[in-house]
Each structure stands twice: as C-alpha cells, then as structure tokens.
Amino acid sequence: MTETHPSRTKIILAFLAIYLIWGSTYLAIKVAVTSFPPFFMAGTRFITAFLILGGWAWYQGAQLPTWPQVRSTLVIGLLLLLGGNGAVCWAEQKVDSGFAALIITSTPLFMVLIDRIGPAKKKLHPPVMGGIFLGFLGIIFLVGPEKLADYEHLNLAGIAALIFATASWAAGSIYSRHNPLPANQNLNSAMQMLFGGFFLMSFSVISGEYASASLASVTPEGWLSWAYLVIFGSVIGFSAFVFLLKWSTPAKVSTYAYVNPIVAVLLGYFILGEPLTLNMLIGGGIIVLSVIIITKFKE
C-alpha cells in the first residue's frame, strides 16, 4: 500500500516543532541536570516517551517490526540518543545551554564529512569545502581564541562532549536515511526511544552515576523540566524530526540548526542569566552562515 503524502500544514507544524521546541530543550536540559544525573535523566525521559508513543502505536494497530527494522532503530537509538542527546546532557553540567546549542549548530558540517567518508563517498564541492572551513573557524571564535591560548581555564571536557554529540547525531541521521524503518511513525520513534533509553540507563549504571540518583532531592523546577523534555522534546519534537527525515529533504530538515541556537541563547540569557558575549555572536553567526552555505551547495 502506497502511503499518502502528508499535508503541507502537517509538515509546517513539524518544522515549527523542531525549530522552536528543540531550541527550548537546551534550557530544559540545563535545569533538569541540576537535579538529575544526566544519563539517568535522559534515560528515564526516553523510556517514558516510549511508553506513550508505543502505546499509541499499539492503539493504531501498527504492524510488528521486522528484524532489519529492529536492528536499524537500535543503531539509531545508540547514535542519536546515547551518543547525541546523552553527551549534550552531560556537557550541560559544565557549559551554558546557549553555548551548547551553538556548538550543536555545526551538525550539518559533520553530516557532510560523514557522507564523504561513508559508503556514499559524496564529492565535496568547493563551496561546501569553504563552508566546512568556515564552520570550524566559527567554533574557534565561539570558544574564544584567548581561551584556547589559556586552555587551563577552558572546559575541554564539555566542549569535547558537545563535538562528539554533534558527530554522533550526524551519523545517526545519515544512517536513518539508508536503512529500513517501521512504516508507522509513532512505532518508529518509540523503538528508537526504547533502545536509546536502554543504552542511556545502562551507561548510567555502568558509570556509577545511577547510585547518586535521588528522586527525593529533585526540585519542582527539575520535575517540570523533565516533564517538558518528555512531552515536548521527545513525544512531539523528536517524533516531528523522525517524520521530517522521511517526508522532507535532508537539506530542509537541517535548517533547524539555524533557529535552535537563537532560541536557546535568548532563553539562556533572559531566564538563566547566561552571558551573551561578542565571541558568541560572531562565532554563532559564522557557524550559521557556514551551515547555510553547506545546505545550499551540498546536493
């Protein structure tokens, strides 16, 4: 049976979800990890979202997935949710939410590089190569040349975790485009969250952070942020992302990287009082410009 292409309205709403909701999740993560251990917080978030979406998929009568579909969602859950989201949650213990969002903006740079060295072996056109160089130059400005020189006062662990998260998310996004996935979008998202939540909770236990988890010490703001991440960040936002990967082009989907950092930086500045420095404005602007160049010329 041929699937009916979704309406223009549904696609627009999905884009608004990944533009605005995902931009706000950096603030929610920053608040949540002050009460929860990061991998424990992310793991419980995605497992809870799995129960909601999985239950809805069952109600819809979704067909059971095939083994290749199970394998694909397992790999995607590992790359997107443990490697991508888990590393961001850990990094936001050490860096500001707006700064984290600006680093993650460079995801399309890594997608292009992975497409080049991966099975597709896509050729890099000169404008794309220039965009990649510009993007990494933007990261240097964002971090701050003076801080790079005085690296003892630089949170290298947080920055390294964010760069790893960016590369992992890019790899998972590309993998999802070339491997079989459940036709039911709710089941597809739910399975990715199930496996991602399992990997996150496993890492929480293995790393020892699980032992420090105490629900009694979670603040009301922590619970509110966690609930926001479950409903808006996962059930709505992540599902919209998975939906768009299927029904839109990668270049269009990647445009969320233009908007997310603006939302995150403004929320961090006005709500958490995070600094808004000249380096952030210059570096963030350069990264966004590089993403626009790459998106325009990579196809």
Tell me how crowded residue 175 is: count the other CB atoms within 10 A of its CB: 17
Give me the residue label for tokens 């680093």: 103
**pLDDT attached to residue 70:** 96
**pLDDT attached to residue 51:** 96
For residue 202 the two structure tokens come to 């496993």
CA distances 236 to 23, 52, 230, 262, Å, are 13, 11, 9, 20
Stated length of the chain? 299
**pLDDT attached to residue 144:** 66
pTM for the predicted model, two decimal places: 0.86
Query: Mean pLDDT for each 10-residue chunk of the chain (299 residues)?
Result: 74 90 94 95 96 93 93 96 96 90 83 73 74 80 60 74 93 88 91 96 93 87 96 91 80 77 89 85 82 72
202, 206, 209, 214: CA torsion to nearest 10: 60
**pLDDT attached to residue 117:** 72
**pLDDT attached to residue 1:** 45
**pLDDT attached to residue 112:** 80
Instruction: Provide the CB-side half-sphere exposure for 222 (13 A, CA).
Output: 17
For residue 94 the two structure tokens come to 């050490």
Angle of helix 185-207 relative to helix 38-60, nearest 10 degrees, comes to 150
- Residue 271: which of 85, 97, 92, 155 has the closest Cα? 97
- Residue 287: which of 105, 64, 46, 18 has the closest Cα? 105
